[in-house]
Amino acid sequence: MMTWKKLAATTAAFGFGAAALSGIAINTTPAMAADTTLKIAFLGSPDDEDYDGSLVLKNYVESASNGAIEVEIFPSGRFCSNADECSEALLDGRLEIYITTNGGLAGWYPPAQFLDLPYLLPNDRVAECVFDGPLVGKIRAAVLQDVGAARLMAVSNTGGWRNIATTSKQVKTPDDVDGLKLRTIGADIQIELVKSLGGNPTPIAWPEVYTSLGTGVVEGTKNGITDIVNMKFQDHLKYISLDGHAYMAALWWMNEDAFQDLSPEHQRIVYDGFQFLKQTARVLPMRKGVDAFETFKEAGGTIYSPTAEEKAAFQKAAQPVWDWYEKNFGDEWIQAAQTAVNDCEAKLTAEFEEAAK
């Protein structure tokens, strides 16, 4: 029997790859001057799923448009060196496509912090269903109305789930977080979460986290496993609790003027390209996570999955974060998000029950 790896090797030998296996056309368009150039920029490296997804979009868009649209990819901060610069370039039209995290979007549209409400999303299937549903359209419309310059095209994943990882203490319950100095990003909602669990939130820039863990400036962090291993944090982190308090969504934006300048036919091609990108960038963090967890364990790390009772205790302890959000932004987005989650859970349950007959 031919294994998946052997099949992939065979197809590669004949000039095909993952795109062909998934039904995406391979770009065989002869080199020619394009009518439109779309630039994609992000801060991640070519090893990230963002780059793989961008390659898939580039291949599809250039092929389906017969070369009328060219896509240029700028990873590793080659076009803009930080999130603020990239956002500014997107919003003023110098850049056509950019990716933000939930926290990055909150910089333009603060109510978007609802996407990081702790324990909002229970698992990957529900998260992907939610980010394929009407909630995305609601976010798109709100940002177009309030910001005006960026159109949400797709939501993928960038690193899996945020979990609590520590240097010297296994976290099993909220009580175990009490007094811990945990690194956070500067987003208010992330800081409020650590406070609600009894920890001491310590915002630290990403390039400084490794040293801060090693010197004891912080005793832990809240990151996905692939980010932890990519940055070699396992040199210092020895415990991970899979509490899954936040889905690391990746929101893909296109400059609104650039989108409207496209013909309806090309708008559809670009939109479909983003859906192929989304599929690619969702799968890769899962696959890379398998190896990353093994790397963490090989470095002497311990991985713990909270029980249902322990998970419920985390959810209860995090309730003040929800209260903080509602006090500052109202409950419109909370209600929209919870409705989306409930609808998706019902849909997925019905699918299973039908399949199990």
Give pLDDT, residue 32: 61
Compute the mean pLDDT over every residue in the chain, rounded to the nearest whole number: 91
Over residues 178-206, the mean pLDDT reads 92
Is the predicted pLDDT of residue 6 greater than 50, yes or no? no
Per-residue pLDDT tens digits for 111-165: 999 999 999 999 999 999 999 999 999 999 999 999 999 999 999 999 899 999 9
Is the predicted pLDDT of residue 14 greater than 60, yes or no? no
Confidence class of residue 34 from pLDDT cuts 50, 70 and 90? confident
Is the predicted pLDDT of residue 24 greater than 90, yes or no? no
Q: What is the β-pairing status of strands 97-100 and 36-41?
A: parallel
Distance, first Cα to last Cα, the chain: 30
CA distances from 65 to 73, 263, 331 (A): 17, 11, 43
Over residues 284-302, the mean pLDDT reads 96
pTM: 0.88
Is the predicted pLDDT of residue 23 greater than 50, yes or no? no
Is the predicted pLDDT of residue 5 greater than 70, yes or no? no
Over residues 279-297, the mean pLDDT reads 96
Three-state SS across the chain? Answer: CCCHHHHHHHHHHCCCCHHHHCCCCCCCCCCCCCCEEEEEECCCCCCCHHHHHHHHHHHHHHHHCCCCEEEEEECCCCCCCCHHHHHHHHHHCCCCEEEECHHHHHHHCHHHHHHHCCCCCCCHHHHHHHCCCHHHHHHHHHHHHHCCCEEEEEEEEEEEEEEEEECCCCCCCHHHHCCCEEEECCCHHHHHHHHHCCCEEEECCHHHHHHHHHHCCCCEEEECHHHHHHCCHHHCCCEEEEEEEEEEEEEEEEEHHHHHCCCHHHHHHHHHHHHHHHHHHHHHHHHHHHHHHHHHHHCCCEEECCCHHHHHHHHHHCHHHHHHHHHHHCCHHHHHHHHHHHHHHHHHHHHHHHHCC
CA distances from 220 to 194, 199, 237, 319 (A): 11, 10, 7, 22
Give pLDDT, residue 335: 98
Give pLDDT, residue 30: 47
Give pLDDT, residue 2: 39
What number of residues does the chain have?
357
Confidence class of residue 31 from pLDDT cuts 50, 70 and 90? low
Confidence class of residue 7 from pLDDT cuts 50, 70 and 90? very low
Per-residue pLDDT tens digits for 195-223: 999 999 999 988 899 999 999 999 999 99
Confidence class of residue 303 from pLDDT cuts 50, 70 and 90? very high
Over residues 225-247, the mean pLDDT reads 95
Task: Of 178, 193, 125, 38, give the one whose Cα is nearest residue 347.
Answer: 125
Is the predicted pLDDT of residue 11 greater than 90, yes or no? no
Is the predicted pLDDT of residue 22 greater than 70, yes or no? no
d(CA 241, CA 162): 10
Question: Amino acid identity of 75?
Answer: P
CA 138, distance to chain mean position in Å, is 18
d(CA 15, CA 71): 21
Per-residue pLDDT tens digits for 240-281: 999 999 999 999 999 999 999 999 999 999 999 999 999 999
Q: What percent of the chain has pLDDT over 70?
A: 91
d(CA 95, CA 99): 11
CA dihedral sign, ordered 44, 253, 274, 282: positive
Which of the two residues, 101 and 273, has the higher pLDDT score?
273
